[in-house]
Amino acid sequence: MRLSGKVAIVTGAGSGFGRGIAQRFAAEGANVIVNDRSAETGERAAAGIVDAGGHARFLAGDVTNDADVRRLVEFAIASFGGLDIVVNNAGTTHRNQPMLEVSEAEFDRIYQVNVKSLYLTARHAVPHMREKRNGVFITIASTAGVRPRPGLTWYNGSKGAAIVTSRSMAAELAKDNIRVNVINPVAGETAMLADFMGRDTPERRAEFIATIPLGRLSLPSDIATAAVFFASDEAAFITGACLEVDGGRCV
């Protein structure tokens, strides 16, 4: 098992990519803290891991709230005796629309979830990782941050900021043997897909998928496979990297 004995937090792990990452980490031997704002989906995800023979606990919380994130890190350490990996997966977007039609409240929420959460998890997890001189952060960003398209301007910007922030963290934290890497998925079958497309119709899906050379959307297993690699000792000399898991969309 590639993550045997590791302790990992996965934010936004109640569904979608986050749930897939949490499940795969547990299958690889990690002790997983499932974090989500929704108690219903988060508890279901954690229970599914346990039912499959893995180790997981759930803690509800908002990644934009300092007290919630502090409690999340403390919960991981109290539950499994330490913290090795933080996967910043939680994300949000606005509906595909002209940039000036996005409300200020939507803009603020997007940057809080997609960018501020990186600051908060680092604020509370880095001191623990520095003590033992070892740790891993993985940011689930987006191809939108490296190849922006019209209609998602503020989401594109937030993901670009998340990528640069993560790479800046990598440069600063390398001296502490803390690695920070980024995965950029193309859209998958998540709750945000309709927002990305603007409207969810068979015709619009066909148009969207036609922009992906390998001809399909991202699957949770695609993103989980990349996350396991970055979290494992196999990636011990990799930090500040951005990996597009996008079926060739950014080519």
Q: 16-27 and 220-231 helices cross at what angle (nearest 10)?
A: 50
Q: What is the DSSP letter of 131?
A: H
Sorted by sequence, the CB contacts under 8 Å of residue 178 that are 6+ apart come out as: 126, 129, 130, 134, 135, 136, 137
Residue 151: its H or E element: none
> Residue 142 and residue 158: Cα distance in Å, rounded?
10
C-alpha distance from residue 77 to each of 128, 129, 212, 245 (Å) = 9, 11, 41, 31
- Looking up residue 85, the CATH number of its domain turns out to be 3.40.50.720
Residue 108 in any domain: the answer is yes
Predicted local distance difference test score (pLDDT) of residue 201: 80
Q: Is residue 139 part of a domain?
A: yes
**Residues 66-122: pLDDT tens digits?**
999 999 999 999 999 999 999 999 999 999 999 999 999 999 999 999 999 999 999
Question: Is 192 part of any domain?
Answer: yes
State residue 207's pLDDT score.
87
The larger pLDDT score, comparing residue 199 to residue 123, is at 123
Tell me the average pLDDT across 212-216: 95
Q: Is residue 250 part of a domain?
A: no
| Least confident span in 5-19, 93-107, 181-195, 223-237 | 181-195
Region 20-29: mean pLDDT is 98
Is residue 2 in some structural domain? Answer: no
Torsion of CA 108, 186, 224, 69, to 10 degrees: 0
Mind listing the pLDDT tens digit for each residue in 142-157? 999 999 989 999 999 9
CA–CA distance, 56 with 118 (Å, rounded to integer): 22
Pairing of strands 135-140, 31-36: unpaired
Query: 246 pLDDT exceeds 90?
Result: yes
Spatial separation of the C-alpha atoms in residues 90 and 64, rounded to whole Å: 10
Residue 133 domain boundaries:
7-242
Catalytic pick from 17, 58, 75, 155?
A: 155
Summarised one tens digit per residue, pLDDT across range 202-212 is 888 888 899 99
Residue 157 lies in a domain: yes
Residue 209 in any domain: the answer is: yes
Q: Are strands 135-140 and 85-88 parallel, antiparallel or unpaired?
A: parallel
Mean pLDDT calculated for residue range 52-78: 98
The confidence score (pLDDT) of residue 202 equals 82
Q: How confident is the model at residue 30 (pLDDT cuts 50, 70, 90)?
A: very high
Question: Is there a catalytic annotation at residue 155?
Answer: yes
Q: For residue 104, give every residue at least 6 positions away whose Cβ sits within 8 Å of its Cβ, in sequence order, or none.
A: none
Q: What percent of the chain has pLDDT over 90?
A: 89
What is the dihedral sign for C-alpha 30, 220, 136, 114?
negative
The total domain count for the chain is 1
Report if residue 1 sits inside a domain.
no
Per-residue confidence (pLDDT) for residue 194, from 0 to 100: 72
- Residue 232 banded pLDDT, cuts 50, 70, 90: very high
Q: What is the pLDDT of residues 160-210, one digit of tens each?
A: 999 999 999 999 999 999 999 999 999 887 777 777 777 778 888 888 899
